[in-house]
Structure 1
Amino acid sequence: MTESAASPPTSEVLFYEQGASWLWVLAGPGAGVAMALIQLSAGYFQWLIPIVFFLLVTFFLSIQVKAARIHTSVELTADTLRQGTETTRTAEIVRVYPEAEGAEAPKWQYARALGELTGVPRGRTGIGLRLAGDRTAQAWARKDKQLRAALTNLIEERIPPEKTS
């Protein structure tokens, strides 16, 4: 079976994070049940209140989870690094900077974070990257050590490590 000319070739996914879990939406039914129990303990029950809490919490959490799955997901293949909705070709990545050590922050931590967000998303750790054209940027992930290892392996396959003398 051959791929059609219209579909791009698929590359093996080396690293993936989904951004957020749909399990958070279960807080909506939990809020409805909690309101029903509060009403029952007070000796007063009206169906409208638990249903409204169930619907509102479920609706707003669904929007939040969908946004997080779009804007904070990470996918690395041999050809591309996708951070949220921004995709960077791995051919543009020249170097992966070492992890920050000590009290003084390295310069790469002040670089632009990849993705359309204004900085590294909460709960994620930045990874310094040297890009083609003498640019610096930060990739990010929850499992930053795994992403760093995958990026380093990918870069070392393409560009041999620099020799220090």
Structure 2
Amino acid sequence: MTEPSTPPQVLFYEQGASWWWLLAGPAAGAAMALIQLSAGYGIQWLVPGIFFVLVTGFLWIQVKAARIHTSVELTPDHLRQGEERISIDDIVRIYPEPTGPDVAKWQSSRALGELTGVPRGRKGIGLKLTNDRGAQAWARKHQRLRTELTRLVEERIPPEPSA
């Protein structure tokens, strides 16, 4: 008999978006029903029903896309940002957070994932990758992701001496 494989240990995870947003659909339908009621027309279920279906449908699409494209997962072996997965072995260094008004060079590097930049509400973390490549990891809880990434990289590669 083969032994079932154990899932990798997840050190950091962000889901991207919450399904709770879908409650705005019923709220929009209820608001339309209350508007009709307060206007003295009585409740005609077609308009609240349309608002319920449209708002819930559009939000379902948005939440589903956010859960795919803005989720983050870090395990001891890989970092997944949206649909892109990179090996921890490809990360050579974690750049320090930028200080002051100057823009750090790593902030112009491409963001990991299939998006064109760091998603709104997230903050970038500079990475130096193998073959002298640069990239930005990102997360809402960026400090925690930075701490975990730094720990993983320093376990493999000792930190550079400060000049």
TM-score bracket, normalised by the shorter chain, equals over 0.9
What is the distance in 2 between the residues matched to 1:107 and 1:2? 49
What is the distance in 2 between the residues matched to 1:128 and 1:140? 9
**Structure 1 residues 29-70: Cα deviation after superposition (integer angstroms, max 9, x where no partner):** 000000000000001131100011001100110010000000
Q: 1:85 aligns with which of 58, 62, 83?
A: 83
**Structure 1 residues 91-137: Cα deviation after superposition (integer angstroms, max 9, x where no partner):** 00000000010000000000000000000000000000000000000
Q: Which residue of 2 aligns with 1:145?
A: 143
User: How far is 1:2 from its partner?
Assistant: 4.8
Q: Which residue of 2 aligns with 1:154?
A: 152
Dislocated runs of 4+, deviation >3 Å:
1-4
Q: Which residue of 2 aligns with 1:38?
A: 35
The percent identity for this pair of structures is 70
If the length of structure 1 is used for normalisation, what is the TM-score?
A: 0.94
Q: Which residue of 1 aligns with 2:12?
A: 15
Q: 2:23 aligns with which of 6, 10, 26?
A: 26
Change in 2 beyond 3 A, CA 1:47/1:164: closer
Secondary structure of the residue aligned to 1:112 is coil
What is the distance in 2 between the residues matched to 1:2 and 1:121? 42
Letter in 1 for 2:121: G
If the length of structure 2 is used for normalisation, what is the TM-score?
A: 0.96
Aligned length: 162
Q: Which residue of 2 aligns with 1:120?
A: 118
Q: Which residue of 2 aligns with 1:164?
A: 162
Letter in 2 for 1:110: S
Instruction: List alignment gaps of at least 5 residues for structure 2.
Output: none
User: How far is 1:161 from its partner?
Assistant: 1.2
Instruction: List alignment gaps of at least 5 residues for structure 1.
Output: none
Secondary structure of the residue aligned to 1:54 is helix
CA RMSD of aligned residues (A): 1.3
Letter in 1 for 2:19: W
Secondary structure of the residue aligned to 1:13 is coil
Letter in 2 for 1:31: A
